[in-house]
Structure 1
Amino acid sequence: MYSFTTWSKRQVNPDLGQCLFSFVLIADTHVDRENLPSSSPFPINELCNGRTRYCIADIGELSREMGSLAPKFTVHLGDLTHPVPSMAAYSTAVEDFRNITTELKMPLYLVPGNHDVGDKPVDWAPAGVVRERFLTAWNRNFGSHYQSFSHGGVKFVLLNAQIINSGLELEHQQRTWFESTLKTADGERIMLLLHYPPYLYTEDEAENYDNLAIPGRTWLLDLSEKYNVEALFAGHVHHFWYNRYKSMDCYLLPSTSFTRQDYSEMFRAAPSEQMADGRNDSAKVGYFVVLVYENGHVCHFRSTKGSTLQPAEEISESRKTSQVIPLHPREAKMNRVGFDMRHPWAEVVEIAPSGALDEFSRKRVRNDYPLFALWQMGTGLMRIPTSDLEDSQTVARMQALQELGHTFVITSDGVPDAKTLACLTRCKDLVRRWEIAIPIAKIDELKDSLQLFKSETRLPIYLSKLRMKSDRVKDGEPYYHQISHGFSVADEDEINTLLNYSGQRRLFEGAVFRIARTECVSKSLTEVEAICERLGVGASVTMFMADPNPAKHRCDDHDTAYRIAESMFSAASLGKVELIVDTFI
């Protein structure tokens, strides 16, 4: 749920303990020469300096907003500049990066990226691979290639990912140092920061431009598991992904400056003209603020929306980023508002070779932006169909997200078959409740199978009315050729009769209600809450965002946002009702 108060007064899940401190992560600024032609052929790159300048200023605004929780330091995950060390523009870009980041009023730690020291060692890389001359330039301009520091009981370990698998002497030195650093952490929690991510989708995937090759990848992951690394943060890809390797949270960060156009293939809608073929998806541009608690950590994304600042310009009052403070699923003790995930929420997509970065093979990635949007909405409650439980990769994803505080409601229709019951039984520890929609006339057919299921799983079951044509005629509704389910507030007597019939109260812990787009949200939720109090049951309320008339489109974004905000406020004040917004996308 959202917190509509200050950072320090948010009501956070007490299981996390006290917030110890926070820090900022930025990635892939790609600063170029100020007021000179960009070294990139893409016009969007001309905005990188202004966007980096805005990001630095916004971190200052964030610090003021967070008060006592203000970030203590910032880590840059690499690709400080766009010109690589072999280019004449490099030294000027380095100086401009220094000038821009001087305005940051906290310690800044730097991780080298491939634009800073050269690409990882591959023959097909379009730019120069890592080499001694580039490494010397980094050392001269920015200092050590690898380092560690401690803060608040956490050891932060920064690596040069580009030299992994290179065979250079510096790689050998870094390996020895890294293993020794992990071994001597002496009870500190460990967080690992580097530019290249170990992998994008699976730990055994083939090498591509955006991951580490084996054996270096295996070496890094094995040590991370052995020494119980809590979190890994990487850049390079200019997009968000979350993976969980064993017990380690792995975050791939968006850029502060632009998105990678090759990954626009993940989305089902083509990028608009303003998005510059996918390189300027400005809603996805920004940085992370990480809150470290006694018993875990939480990442919040701070969107800068592609805003820019000119030299010596300050953020005006009208341009300051106004963002509601969310509670991450890990921070929320109980999610009472969730979303129906009708659309794929963990979809795996094959990215076509673009020629610029990968040419000879496709790479598989998962679209994690539905997850990203849920975090920004401040909820981890997701309703999914039982068919999702039949896919082993989806189940594995549910297990990973459960560790982050996500909860899952399963929905199905009709009398369940043996396959459905087996899936639910196998995944019972991942499921908060099961919502089953059925014609009321067939409810007797449920009893035997549900009684056996209940005895084996103890999983709460909520009953939803699958509304037939005759129900609509009786309720005076026009007939539309579409499925309709859920009780209305006028069905209280029917629900009471069903629950008291032949011991069915023992089968169902609650009922599923519906609120049409044309109904008042707060009034309907209050009425449902009263029904629950009288009947002694729980309620799941589906709030439909589509119009009851399937031919009528609701395209008013402000009205939609207002309705969801109203529902969140209303649901937060009630004790027995959970709200599912249908649909998320």
Structure 2
Amino acid sequence: MIDRSLIAPAEFEFVVLGDTHYMLDPAGRALEFESRRKQTARADTALTLAASLRPDFLVHMGDLVQEYPETRRHREALEEARAQLARLGVNVYLVAGNHDVGDKPDPTMPTRPVTVESIERYQSGFGPSWFSFDHRKCHFIVINSQILNTDLPESGSQRDWLERDLERHGRKRVFLFLHLPLFLEHQDEPHVGNYDNIGQPDRGWILDLIRRHGVEAVCAAHVHFAFLNRVGSTRIYNVPSTSFVRPGFGHLFTGPPPPEQGRDDAPKLGFYLFRVFSDRTDVHFIRTGGAVAPEEKAHGGSQRLLTRTSAGLSASPLGLTLLHPLANRTGIPIAFPSVVRQCVRNDYPLLAGLELGATAVRFPVADLDDAFQLERLRIIRDEGLRLTAMAPASSPADLSTYVRRHSDVVDTWEIQIPGALLPSRALGRELAGSGRGARPRFALAPILPGEIRPGKQHPRTRIGYIPGELRELNRCLAQRDVFVQRVLCRVDESEPWNTVRQLLDTGTLSHVGAVDLTVAFTSRDDVRNASTAAETLFGAVLLPGARVYFEPFVDLDRTLDVAFGLLDTSCNPRRAFHVLRTLNSLLFREPISRPVPESLELHGAIIRTLTGAAGFQALFTSCAGELPDLGGLTFSGISPGASSRLYRLAEGTVQEGPFERLLGYVTGLSPPVLLTSGPQG
């Protein structure tokens, strides 16, 4: 089911999933939410997919069942859920959740708190609710979050055990698992009446242990929603559900609620695959999309691709321009199951950027003045992304202050020149010390009003050069003996390949280190945007050292100019997102030498090819919904029987076969599609 050809071998892997909420057969009775009928099948599909990855083990984060301890059929549901897990053929470690043993000790909680009896019932069927184990050179700890802050004897026993266990194994890489999150938005957030965090004093005690022992990662579940927090160097993941999303958190998004008040937000369902290396751990979000059956194979056996995250794509040029803030936060209205207003943060754009394999981000320099945004920017930089701050050049003194304060965060300072193509003499003097390899690093981009666009009453403002302006810029820099590390160049959205060819024709720029590209979607056509994205990133192979920034990252739907982004207003991926995610790993998993490009058009299909050390690669795009009949098409030097691979980029799948047969499959597919053969000599 899974193709691993794009990822590097890890030392070992494990799966983390949770909140499967096995649902006893409801037959024909009415349900509060109709999607509950799908929960068991959704969980089964996710578990089957997880098992197909052949992980060393699987950690289930709790809430095995939809029933809860005081319901009549709770034991029956647990038995059926256990049978579901037993069929996997994978070593499973279980974390106790509130639906398994009872709620935390807060009198406002909707169900009864955990008891000695509920713990004993659970442990008689599933074993200890707190334990640890070693695997390779790592140590894994599971604790029972439901008994924290209680006066149960088990709480004291677990506390003493955990402190001793960490003392004994603190020199190893440690991973900690518990059902309830320690916190969602900040470490000191209130807990009484809050359904979704661990109370004090035990929250503070665990956080102190995490810091003291340098725990590598913590995983929690319960909220059916993804969050990423940091405590020191420790990453804290909130694991999404395989079965449904908790309504309420949808207030973070600007779009209308998905089905069932946001509960059936299927694109957010899935699980995590942890891939452990000697120096890092890569975390992959495996989306299941609420599927209730395993993915069907198409055209004789396509497989789903496992793509790299940002940490594994250091050679990638893929970047994002943050028109929206990297994260936003809001107060969720007081509503069941909490009795207080919860302050929460939207981490979906940040997490999507890592899933995409992005390696660079542009953001307004003013974000550095916002402690909330700065903290999130530090996190993505630690995850391997290079940060560029966009700064209008109106006040050199202000910029110097930013550079002095934030040189540890910002990799490049993009100086935006208001109303002029070329830097002023004063700005040139400011940049004069910025030689090759110097710190700080600067980039240039003009801000030019007056661009006429069809259908718009007012002219628009362009940020960035066009290829024909770069030689004039280079002459200006040479005359003033100024070298800049980067300049920003806008891509013609309708002809991205032509922009790349124009840059190649420009030749070497003696006083510019690299030319970066920025692509601004202006369309609300998913197929068109996906083809534009694919063609631009494909062309970036020809521009060593360039970065390619895409905008908007999230849809613009209530501004004078509207456009689809890589994510919709619920922060779920659009077609272009998946195209870039797949193509990014295909093209840039390793540094490559510059190939030879060619181009042709046939029956409305646009075909771009690259031939070089990586083999032969043909990208098929079109503005139509499907690719036309390409019968009779041949490529010089490619044998009809050559072993080849066909990638459906938006679907993230691959199938193998003879070149001629796979070329025949292209007809009727939704673009863009990549066909490869080789490598060539």
Q: Which bin holds the TM-score, normalised by the shorter protein?
A: 0.7 to 0.9
> In the alignment, is residue 351 of structure 1 matched against residue 332 of structure 2?
yes
Q: Please give the secondary structure, in 2, of the residue aligned with 1:511.
A: strand
What do residues 2-51 of structure 1 show as CA deviations (whole Å, max 9, x unaligned)? xxx953553x5xxxxx7210010111011121354789622222211010
For 2:205 and 2:233, how far apart are their aligned partners in 1?
A: 16
* 1:252-267 pair list within 5 angstroms: 252-267=238-253
Q: How does 1:360-375 map to 2 (within 5 A)?
A: 361-375=340-354
Matched, 1:556 2:525: yes
Equivalent residue number for residue 25 of structure 2: 34
Unaligned runs of at least 5 residues, structure 2: 555-681
Is the CA contact (8 Å cut-off) linking 1:327 and 1:378 kept in structure 2?
A: yes
Correspondent of 2:384 among 394, 405, 416: 405
2:233 is the alignment partner of 1:247: yes
State the distance in 1 between where 2:23 and 2:93 align.
Answer: 20
Q: 2:540 aligns to what?
A: 571
CA apart distance, 1:562? 2.2
Structure 1 window deviating more from structure 2 (437-446 vs 87-96): it is 437-446
Partner residue in 2 for 1:331: 312
1:348 to 1:450, Cα distance in 2 relative to 1, 3 A: farther
- Residue in 1 that maps onto 2:565: none
* TM superposition shift of 1:223: 0.8
Deviations 1:235-278 (A, max 9, x none): 00101110110111100011000001110001011214xx2110
Q: Give, in angstroms, the shift of residue 110 of structure 1.
A: 0.3
Distance 2:530 2:137 in 1: 41
| Residues 96 and 129 in structure 2, CA contact (< 8 A), matched pair in contact too | yes
- CA shift, 1:477, in A, is 13
1:117-175 Cα deviation digits (max 9, x unpaired): 11100010011111122112211221111111111111110000010001110001111
Match of 2:364 among 385, 389, 393: 385
> Is the contact made by 1:515 and 1:544 (CA closer than 8 Å) also made in structure 2?
yes
Per-residue deviation at 1:454? 8.5
Mapped to 1, the partners of 2:280 and 2:524 lie a distance apart of 40
- For the pair 1:422 / 2:406, whether they are aligned, the reply is no
Distance 1:441 1:377, change over 3 A: closer
Provide the residue aligned with 1:503 in structure 2.
Answer: 481
> For 1:190-229, what aligned pairs fall within 5 Å after superposition?
190-207=174-191, 208-229=194-215
AA partner of residue 253 (structure 1) = V
Q: Which amino acid aligns with 1:482?
A: R
Deviations 1:372-423 (A, max 9, x none): 2212222131110111111122222222222211221111223235334312
Q: 1:466 is matched with which residue?
A: 447
Contact 2:390/2:413 (<8 A) preserved: yes
Distance 1:495-1:294 versus aligned 2 partners, 3 A rule: same
Contact 1:32 1:39 in 2 (8 A): no
5+ residue gaps in structure 1? 13-17, 64-69, 548-553
Letter in 2 for 1:525: V
Distance in 1 between residues matched to 2:101 and 2:439, nearest whole Å:
57
2:67 aligned with 1:91, yes or no? no
Q: Could you tell me how far apart the structure 2 residues matched to 1:492 and 1:477 are? A: 29
Distance 1:167 1:56 in 2: 36
Counterpart in the other structure of 1:185: 169
Q: Distance in 2 between matches of 1:43 and 1:477?
A: 44
Q: Displacement, 1:102?
A: 2.2
Judge which range, 257-266 or 483-492, deviates more.
483-492
What SS does structure 2 have at the residue aligned with 1:397?
A: helix
| TM-aligned CA distance change 1:399 to 1:94, over 3 Å | same
How many Å apart are 1:188 and its aligned residue?
1.9
**2:463 paired with 1:485:** yes
* 1:369–1:558 distance in 2 versus 1, CA, 3 Å: same
Deviation of 1:298 (Å): 1.1
Choose from 64, 70, 81 the match for 2:65: 81
Contact 1:145 1:160 survives alignment (8 Å): yes
**Displaced runs of 4 or more, over 6 A:** 37-40, 452-455, 475-479
- Distance, in Å, in 1 between the alignment partners of 2:325 and 2:508 is 36
Assess if the C-alpha contact under 8 Å between 2:422 and 2:476 holds in 1: no
Q: 2-side partners of 1:465 and 1:192: how far apart?
A: 49
Higher relative contact order (CA 8 A, sep 6+): 1
TM-score normalised by the chain length of structure 1: 0.88
3-state SS of paired residue (2:108): coil
Q: Is the CA contact (8 Å cut-off) linking 1:389 and 1:424 kept in structure 2?
A: no
Q: Find the residue that maps to 2:506 and give its secondary structure.
A: helix
Q: Percent identity over the alignment? A: 27
Please tell me whether residue 238 in structure 1 is matched to residue 224 in structure 2. Answer: yes
- 8 A contact 1:532–1:538 mirrored in 2: no
User: Secondary structure of 1:148's match?
Assistant: strand
Q: What SS does structure 1 have at the residue aligned with 2:35?
A: helix
Give the conservation status (yes or no) of the 8 Å contact 2:21–2:64. yes
- Name the aligned partner's letter for residue 63 of structure 2: D
2:574 corresponds to which residue?
none
Aligned AA for 1:546? F
**Counterpart-to-counterpart distance in 2, 1:260 and 1:228:** 31
Aligned residues: 548
Amino acid at match of 1:245: V
Structure 1: how far apart are the matches of 2:234 and 2:73?
39
Specify the alignment match of 2:497 in structure 1. 522
**Cα distance in structure 1, aligned partners of 2:361 and 2:446:** 20
Residues 532 and 539 in structure 1, CA contact (< 8 A), matched pair in contact too:
no
Aligned residues of 2:493 and 2:532 also touching (Cα < 8 A): no
CA distance in structure 2 between the partners assigned to 1:476 and 1:171 by the alignment = 68
> Is the 8 Å Cα contact of residues 51 and 308 (structure 1) preserved in structure 2?
yes
Q: CA RMSD in A?
A: 2.7
Alignment correspondent of 2:111 = 127
Find the counterpart in structure 1 of residue 607 from structure 2: none
For 2:285, the aligned partner's letter is: F
d(CA) in 2 for partners of 1:257, 1:440: 53
1:550 corresponds to:
none
The Cα shift of 1:529 comes to 4.5
- Alpha-carbon separation, structure 1, partners of 2:150 and 2:141: 20
Deviation of the 1:559 alpha carbon: 1.9
**For the residues of structure 1 that align with 2:295 and 2:521, how far apart are their CA atoms?**
38
1:7 — aligned with what?
Answer: 4
2:47 maps to 56
Cα 1:218–1:460 change in 2 (3 A) is same
Aligned-partner Cα distance in 1 for 2:64–2:337: 19
